[in-house]
């Protein structure tokens, strides 16, 4: 996709996202190489977003974006020093609304708020998918500003800048692997919501079908200018491409244990 016109910077976002238009005048939210948080954030956004699209999680379309020279010139003039013509585009969705987190001491608990906002069963199933997805891509930045409501009152999830975060590992770790202790459901809007083990299964089945060829097809698009270490790509391809034998059974065991513990305390 070719980005030909810069519109404006968005008011929120540590990666300094901006709106731009492609040749069909379609708006995209762009995250570019040169942002304050580094190239790893746009790598995360592209790979994790591509996986979210693949398993049909409610997530905007993701695309690699080539910035036209005039767009780069406009950004440079505004103090954003672009390091590569290749960026990540997230398709802009109009009329999105934020979900406000319950204030401290509020009588509205997360477990009451979310079902009230999204009463349809299909919508509630999306939160099980979000829980599975966050753990699958090691996403440790799930907070209320990553949950929005579209014009049809459906949930839309955003932002994978902090995906593939491994405790105790370097940013470009060449030794990524799944462990039982990696499962984490501390996202505030998932609290007390994802408690039925059987509802995870449709999402685990989708991940079960992902193989190394699928991951490799995504990685082939990674621009050389992003300078992603080869050993990191190999390690991540292996761990994501073998989810059937590592992540899926680990997640099932952990969920059965967590829900069993919850049941024993009632």
What SS3 class is residue 183? coil
Q: Which of 54, 71, 91 is the last residue of a domain?
A: 91
141 and 248 both lie in a single domain: yes
**Of 75, 91, 107, which residue is a domain's last?**
91
Give the dihedral of Cα atoms 144, 147, 85, 39; nearest 10 deg.
40
Q: In whole angstroms, give the CA distance from residue 3 to residue 89.
A: 9
Inter-residue contact 135 to 183 (CB < 8 Å): yes
Last residue of a domain, one of 70, 91, 112: 91
Question: How far is the C-alpha of 126 from the C-alpha of 106, rounded, in Å?
Answer: 25
Burial class (CB in 10 A: 0-12, 13-18, 19+), 182: middle
Same domain assignment for residues 120 and 35:
no
pLDDT of residue 145: 82
Residues 69 and 104 grouped into a single domain: no
> Same structural domain for residues 43 and 10?
yes
pTM of the complete model: 0.90
Q: Are residues 135 and 223 in the same domain?
A: yes
User: Of 248, 245, 215, which is closest to residue 232 (Cα–Cα)?
Assistant: 215
Tokens of 199: 């509802």
Q: What is the CATH number of the domain that holds 255?
A: 1.10.1070
Same domain for 224 and 117? yes
For residue 19, what are the domain limits? 2-91
Q: What is the torsion angle, in degrees rounded to the nearest 10, for the CA atoms of residue 201, residue 179, residue 170 and residue 18? A: 10
Instruction: Tell how strand 86-91 and strand 27-32 pair up.
Output: antiparallel
**Do 172 and 109 share a domain, yes or no?**
yes
SS3 110: helix
The count of domains in the chain is: 2
Could you list the pLDDT tens digit for every one of the 266 residues in the chain?
Answer: 899 999 999 988 889 999 999 999 999 999 999 999 999 999 999 999 999 999 999 999 999 999 999 999 999 999 999 999 999 999 999 999 988 877 655 555 667 788 888 888 788 889 889 989 999 998 877 778 889 999 999 999 999 998 998 776 778 888 888 876 667 776 767 766 667 788 889 999 999 999 999 999 999 999 999 999 999 999 999 999 999 999 999 998 887 776 666 555 44
Residue 172 and residue 55 in one domain: no
| 66 Cβ neighbours under 8 A, 6+ residues apart | 1, 2, 3, 85, 86, 87
Closest C-alpha among 136, 126, 133 to residue 250: 136
**What is the rounded CA–CA span in Å between residue 102 and residue 16?**
27
What was the pLDDT predicted at 228? Answer: 95
User: Which secondary-structure segment (H or E) carries 6?
Assistant: strand 2-9
Compute φ and ψ for 8, nearest 5 degrees: -170, 160
**Residue 168 and residue 191 share a domain:** yes
> Is the same domain home to 228 and 245?
yes
Are residues 86 and 138 both part of a single domain? no
- Give one word for 176, left, alpha or beta, with left for phi > 0 and alpha for psi -120 to 50: beta
- Say what the pLDDT of residue 266 is: 47
| 48 plus 149 within the same structural domain | no
Angle, in degrees to the nearest 10, between helices 230-241 and 212-219: 150
pLDDT at position 120 is 82
pLDDT at 12: 81
Interatomic CA distance for residues 25 and 60, integer angstroms: 17
Q: How far is Cα 88 from Cα 106, in angstroms, rounded to an integer?
A: 38
């Amino acid at each position: 996709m070719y980005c030909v016109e810069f519109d404006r910077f968005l008011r929120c976002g540590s990666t300094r996202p901006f709106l731009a238009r492609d040749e069909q005048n379609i708006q995209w939210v762009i995250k570019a190489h040169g942002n304050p948080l580094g190239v790893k954030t746009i790598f995360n956004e592209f790979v994790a977003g591509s996986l979210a699209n693949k398993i049909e999680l409610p997530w905007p379309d993701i695309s690699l974006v080539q910035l036209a020279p005039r767009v780069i010139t406009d950004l440079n003039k505004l103090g954003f020093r672009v390091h590569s013509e290749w960026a990540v585009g997230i398709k802009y969705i109009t009329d999105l609304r934020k979900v406000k987190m319950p204030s401290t001491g509020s009588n509205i608990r997360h477990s009451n708020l979310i079902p009230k906002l999204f009463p349809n069963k299909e919508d509630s199933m999306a939160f099980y998918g979000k829980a599975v997805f966050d753990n699958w891509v090691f996403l440790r930045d799930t907070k209320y500003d990553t949950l929005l409501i579209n014009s049809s009152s459906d949930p839309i999830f955003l932002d994978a800048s902090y995906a593939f975060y491994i405790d105790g590992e370097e940013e470009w770790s060449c030794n990524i692997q799944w462990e039982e202790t990696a499962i984490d459901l501390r996202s505030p809007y998932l609290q007390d919501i994802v408690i039925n083990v059987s509802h995870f299964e449709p999402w685990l089945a989708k991940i079960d079908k992902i193989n190394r060829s699928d991951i490799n097809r995504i990685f082939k698009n990674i621009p050389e200018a992003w300078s992603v270490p080869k050993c990191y790509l190999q390690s991540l391809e292996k761990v994501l491409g073998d989810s059937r034998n590592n992540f899926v059974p680990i997640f099932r065991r952990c969920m059965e244990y967590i829900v069993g513990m919850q049941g024993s305390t009632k």
